[in-house]
Amino acid sequence: MYYIFLANGFEVTEAMAPLDVMRRAGLDVKTVGVTGAEVQSSNGVTVKADMELKALSYDDLEGVILPGGMPGTRNLKACREVTDCVRTCFDNGKLVAAICAAPSVLGFLGILNGKRATCFPGFEPELTGAVCTGEHVVADGNVITARGAGCSLSFGHAIVSAAVSKATADKVLSDMQCF
């Protein structure tokens, strides 16, 4: 199971576009309401999460995705259950993906030490230990980072490439008329 954590103030495109790409690729992925069953995005869109944080299970955990947005990123960083899950994924070689401001959570956890990474411009100082590339999407081992909302489909592509295959990711985006 892949979990996309939604906290109040998340960036809706950074959560929903990768979710769409992942589900089209056949991945088992659920949105997790960190701040309740209904979560309000940074631009006022309310999303009903598939599950609440209290239902989180590590039994079949395959990866986590952190959308950015403010104050969503700060809310993710402040949630012990989220940071514990991210740390567990990383420590066990599972997929850890973050976009926009959310790679700062990975920096806070020490996950980016020596890794190539990217983020929304201006958050580079919070990517502790990372080699910041400025690229739209960066995959380094089991960690995937992306710059922002405009990179959301490419971010989803990178996640599916890592979780399934590049050919599957290419087909999904081609079917979506992205190329």
pLDDT digits (tens, 9 = 90+) for 59-117: 999 999 999 999 999 999 999 999 999 999 999 999 999 999 999 999 999 999 999 99
- Catalytic residue list contains 100: yes
What confidence score (pLDDT) does residue 115 get?
A: 98
**Catalytic annotation, pick one of 79, 89, 100, 151:** 100
pLDDT bucket at 12, cuts 50 / 70 / 90: very high
Going from the N-terminus, what domains does the chain have, and what CATH number goes with each?
A: 2-175 (3.40.50.880)
How large is the average pLDDT for residues 149-164? 98
- Does the predicted model carry a pTM greater than 0.95? yes
Taking the CA atoms of 113, 67, 162 and 173 in sequence, report the sign of the dihedral they define: negative
Q: What is the mean pLDDT of residues 139-146?
A: 98
Arithmetic mean of pLDDT over the chain: 97
pLDDT at 179 over 90: no
Q: How far is the C-alpha of 136 from the C-alpha of 8, rounded, in Å?
A: 25
User: Terminal CA-to-CA distance of the chain, rounded, Å?
Assistant: 28
